[in-house]
Amino acid sequence: MKLYDFSLAPNPRRVRIFLAEKGIEIPMVQVNTREAEQFSDWFQKINPRGTIPVLELDDGTLISESVAICRYFEETQPEPPLMGRDATDRAVVEMWNRRVEIEGIGAVAAVLRNTLPMFEDRAIAGIPSGVPQLPALAERGRGGYGIFLERLDERLGESRFIAGDGFTIADITAFVAIDTALRVEMGVPEARANVRRWQAEVAARPSASA
């Protein structure tokens, strides 16, 4: 078993934090997306979509997409639970994680993909060229990120963690989104006190350095 990873990419980091919380260690193979290695012949055989992370099981099964990979490890090692304990809990965690993915990760990705030089002519993940950056999408992403923080702050005024009293994959997704946003100078305003309280608590967990 091995994980195709890149230490500087946000989605693989979500998996690494998940694994750290579970206490699972597996070999990692680095795929340098800054140098477009995901489009190399050798990696295209592993994932023709040209995205990371990808988990390769011992029987050769290949699983891409961060949440799908996390689901595999949740099923094979249920403790500690990071995706819910029962049907209701799992649905609530999934609901919040999807919201964070769409509103948080989505907004940050729009800004990164449409501003950073490394994404020039490939503003959509998995497409090697021919997709120009659009400043209007970056601007909309910044606005969307502000709305995301506003909604997250409201939620964290009601709950210690995003999906309830326990730490879950939803917190991992949001933490990575907020950390990644710093690359394009989008921080958490002081007015979002609940987010800042939560952010400090998550950052203090050993898994945050994964």
CA dihedral 43, 74, 195, 164 (to 10 degrees): 160
- 3-class DSSP string for 124-145: CCCCCCCECCCHHHHHHHHHHH
pLDDT in tens, the chain (210 residues): 999 999 999 999 999 999 999 999 999 999 999 899 999 999 999 999 999 999 999 999 999 999 999 999 999 999 999 999 999 999 999 999 999 999 999 999 999 999 999 999 999 999 999 999 999 999 999 999 999 999 999 999 999 999 999 999 999 999 999 999 999 999 999 999 999 999 999 999 999 999
Residue 70 pLDDT? 98
Residue 88 pLDDT? 98
Q: How far apart are CA 69 and CA 149, in angstroms?
A: 27
Establish how many alpha carbons lie within 13 A of residue 37's alpha carbon, considering only the half-sphere containing its beta carbon. Answer: 13
- Residue keyed to tokens 């994404």: 119
**DSSP one-letter code for 56:** E
Residue 174 pLDDT? 98
Residue 198 pLDDT? 98
Residue 29 pLDDT? 98
Residue 23 identity (one-letter amino acid): G
Of 110, 95, 123, 122, the closest CA to residue 177 belongs to 110
Q: Please, what are the domains in the chain?
A: 2-76 (3.40.30.10), 87-209 (1.20.1050.10)
- Asked if 18 and 172 touch (Cβ cutoff 8 Å), the reply is yes
Given its phi and psi angles, is residue 130 left (phi above 0), alpha (psi -120 to 50 degrees) or beta?
Answer: left
Residue 73 pLDDT? 98
- Residue keyed to tokens 């819910």: 84
Which tokens go with 167?
Answer: 């730490």
Cα–Cα–Cα angle for 190, 196, 197, nearest 5°?
130
What are the two backbone dihedrals, phi and then psi, of residue 32, each rounded to the nearest 5 degrees? -75, 95
Which tokens go with 182?
Answer: 């710093």
Q: How far apart are CA 141 and CA 135, in angstroms?
A: 10
Sign of the Cα pseudo-torsion (72, 113, 8, 174, in order)? negative
Which tokens go with 106?
Answer: 């989505």
Q: How far apart are CA 98 and CA 101, in angstroms?
A: 5
Residue 91 pLDDT? 98
The answer, as to whether pTM is greater than 0.75, is: yes
